[in-house]
């Protein structure tokens, strides 16, 4: 029989915990379920809260938005918060702090008179387990099959979703990746979401597809190559847009596209211009005259196909219709790829120098392409317990939002609230001030959210009316930092 003895040198965990509880100066952060016990001069696990002289403190200052840049100069250490008109300042939730559990009133409930109406803004940093990013990547290049897993640091953090016009789309995050997989999957998902939400770059790899570096407002980098142009349209749209400019310069134009390849002389646009049928038949499935699907496999080549030799899309050339000397332009949907051929006596396409007017028409396609960018929308559900920080009857806040009586903003930026139940909103992360997002290690993202509504409505929906503090008092006490919004974002208070 083997007897085990406790190692006299091993610390007793219960004793350690008890000692920790007795440790002087510790403060417990109750802003999220992690409940960090923080030593003096240290911060908790998320770095958002710290122990400052024995007091729990939000480490980042409250951020207010100032309408005009010159107002920002008031944000020095001696700033009293005055003189600012209520129309010129908006208390955002960035740095406001979080209340957890949410039955406590929101950290700031700000009252101000705007245009003769008493308004209330409820301000809190929400903790979102139900959240994710919708990423739009302007590129023709095939990033991977629909539904393919998207990975960061080897962990699945999302998937490829339906492509949009000129863009490949990713859906990242969501409660399943944050909570439903391994601990590492949740942590990496949270890190990736936070990086992108705060404007940073993330390297993502698609199973069976490409690797892409994504950064909001920047061009995507696909397999190490920076993308420059967002397609002018699909192959059929390009035919419709430029048919008149090709007439007289080419006898046939084929716009190669992974989705809808266009063939000018067959297309309605070519017929409208009385173009002679050229007899150049492309592969794939004909949808309608001059519009072909599935001419090749998706890839990183011409028009998002795997084609590197454009002649590969030609199935045959009909000798009853084609003629020697026929001039054929093949071009991609961005104008990035283009080639010029002339049929020889045997009706074989022979590469030839592109005439200047044709080159100019190809350049016109490129000119009409917009710069390729990555766009990142944060999407989250605020229809849960967070509402209790605003009102004791949460459904009334939901109804006020749905009826347009309460306006939702995120860090002062306008949001889109989905119709239907709940308060499910989306916001362009580029519209928020820098570093507006945070995280907690549960793991979940922290995002600023504000609800603004008339004070009478706020009282009617069971709001925490007794906790409303006047704007001037909040500014004086919180000693916030003031920032201006990106120039294209509307100020959240009417002038
Ligand atoms: S993780 Fe952050 S918010 Fe959560 S308890 Fe710790 S310090 Fe507070």
- Contact, 156 vs 132, CB < 8 A? no
> Whats the size of the chain, residue-wise?
495
Q: What angle do CA 245, 248, 253 make, to 5 degrees?
A: 65
CA 61–ligand 1 middle distance (angstroms): 16
Q: What angle do CA 327, 328, 330 make, to 5 degrees?
A: 155
Q: Which residues does a 6 A CB cutoff place in the pocket of ligand 1?
A: 29, 31-32, 34-36, 44-46, 48-49, 440-441
CA 166–ligand 1 middle distance (angstroms): 41
CA 191–ligand 1 middle distance (angstroms): 16
Residue ranges in the chain whose pLDDT is less than 70: 1-22, 70-84
| Residue 123 to residue 131: CA distance in whole angstroms | 19
Query: What is the position in ligand 1's atom list of the atom closest to the CA of 46?
Result: 2
Query: What is the position in ligand 1's atom list of the atom closest to the CA of 440?
Result: 1
CA 197–ligand 1 middle distance (angstroms): 20
Instruction: Count the alpha carbons within 13 Å of 313 in the hemisphere toward its beta carbon.
Output: 35
Output the residue whose Cα is nearest ligand 1's atom 7: 44
Kindly report the backbone phi and psi dihedral angles of residue 271, in degrees, each rounded to the nearest multiple of 5, phi listed first. -65, -40
Q: What's the confidence (pLDDT) of residue 1?
A: 35
CA 441–ligand 1 middle distance (angstroms): 8
Q: What's the confidence (pLDDT) of residue 72?
A: 59
CA 21–ligand 1 middle distance (angstroms): 17
Q: What's the confidence (pLDDT) of residue 186?
A: 97
How far lies 373's CA from each of 203, 214, 331, 453, 459, in Å? 15, 9, 22, 35, 44
pTM, full prediction: 0.89
Query: What is the position in ligand 1's atom list of the atom closest to the CA of 98?
Result: 3
Kindly report the backbone phi and psi dihedral angles of residue 26, in degrees, each rounded to the nearest multiple of 5, phi listed first. -70, 140
CA 45–ligand 1 middle distance (angstroms): 6
Closest CA to 155 of 178, 132, 121: 178
For a pocket test of ligand 1, which of 44, 99, 438, 447 has the largest count of ligand atoms closer than 8 A to its C-beta? Answer: 44
Query: What is the position in ligand 1's atom list of the atom closest to the CA of 442?
Result: 1
| Residue 80 to residue 276: CA distance in whole angstroms | 77
- CA-CA-CA-CA dihedral for 331, 333, 334, 338, to nearest 10: -10
Q: What's the confidence (pLDDT) of residue 17?
A: 57
Query: What is the position in ligand 1's atom list of the atom closest to the CA of 43?
Result: 7
Output the residue whose Cα is nearest ligand 1's atom 2: 46
List the structure tokens of 443. 């793991």
Q: What's the confidence (pLDDT) of residue 383?
A: 84
């Amino acid at each position: 029989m083997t007897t085990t003895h406790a190692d006299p040198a091993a610390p007793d965990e219960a004793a350690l915990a008890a000692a920790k509880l007795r440790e002087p100066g510790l403060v417990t952060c109750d802003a999220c379920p992690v409940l960090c016990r923080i030593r003096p001069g240290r911060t908790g696990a998320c770095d958002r809260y710290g122990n400052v002289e024995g007091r729990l403190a939000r480490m980042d200052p409250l951020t207010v938005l100032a309408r005009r840049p010159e107002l920002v100069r008031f944000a020095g250490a001696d700033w009293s918060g005055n003189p600012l008109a209520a129309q010129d300042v908006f208390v955002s939730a960035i740095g406001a702090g979080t209340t957890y559990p949410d039955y406590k009133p929101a950290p700031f409930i700000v009252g101000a008179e705007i245009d003769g109406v008493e308004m209330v803004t409820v301000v809190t940093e929400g903790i979102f387990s139900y959240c994710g990013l919708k990423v739009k990547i302007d590129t023709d290049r095939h990033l991977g099959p629909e539904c393919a897993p998207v990975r960061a640091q080897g962990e699945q953090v999302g998937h490829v979703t339906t492509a949009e016009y000129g863009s490949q789309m990713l859906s990242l995050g969501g409660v399943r990746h944050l909570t439903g997989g391994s601990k590492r999957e949740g942590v990496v998902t949270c890190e990736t979401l936070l990086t992108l939400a705060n404007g940073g770059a993330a390297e993502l790899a698609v199973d069976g597809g490409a690797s892409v570096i994504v950064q909001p407002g920047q061009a995507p980098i696909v397999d190490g190559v920076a993308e420059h142009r967002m397609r002018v349209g699909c192959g059929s749209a390009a035919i419709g847009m430029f048919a008149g400019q090709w007439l007289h310069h080419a006898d046939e134009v084929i716009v190669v596209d992974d989705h809808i390849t266009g063939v000018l002389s067959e297309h309605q646009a070519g017929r409208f211009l009385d173009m002679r049928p050229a007899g150049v038949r492309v592969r794939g499935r004909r949808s309608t005259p001059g519009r072909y699907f599935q001419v090749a496999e998706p890839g990183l080549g011409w028009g998002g196909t795997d084609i590197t030799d454009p002649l590969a899309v030609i199935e045959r050339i009909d000798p009853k219709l084609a003629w020697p000397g026929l001039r054929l332009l093949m071009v991609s949907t961005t104008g990035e790829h283009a080639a010029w051929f002339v049929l020889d006596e045997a009706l074989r396409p022979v590469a030839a120098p592109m005439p200047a007017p044709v080159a100019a028409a190809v350049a016109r396609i490129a000119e009409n392409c917009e710069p390729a960018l990555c766009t990142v929308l944060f999407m989250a559900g605020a229809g849960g317990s967070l509402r209790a920080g605003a009102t004791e009857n949460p459904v009334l806040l939901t109804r006020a939002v749905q009826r347009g009586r309460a306006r939702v903003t995120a860090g002062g930026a306008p949001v889109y609230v989905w119709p239907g139940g709940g308060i499910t909103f989306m916001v362009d992360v580029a519209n928020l001030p820098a570093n507006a997002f945070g995280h907690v290690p549960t793991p979940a993202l922290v995002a600023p959210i504000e609800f603004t509504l008339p004070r009478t409505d706020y009282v009617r929906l069971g709001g925490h009316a007794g906790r409303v503090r006047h704007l001037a008092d909040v500014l004086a006490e919180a000693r916030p930092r003031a920032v201006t919004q990106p120039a294209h974002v509307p100020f959240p208070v009417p002038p």
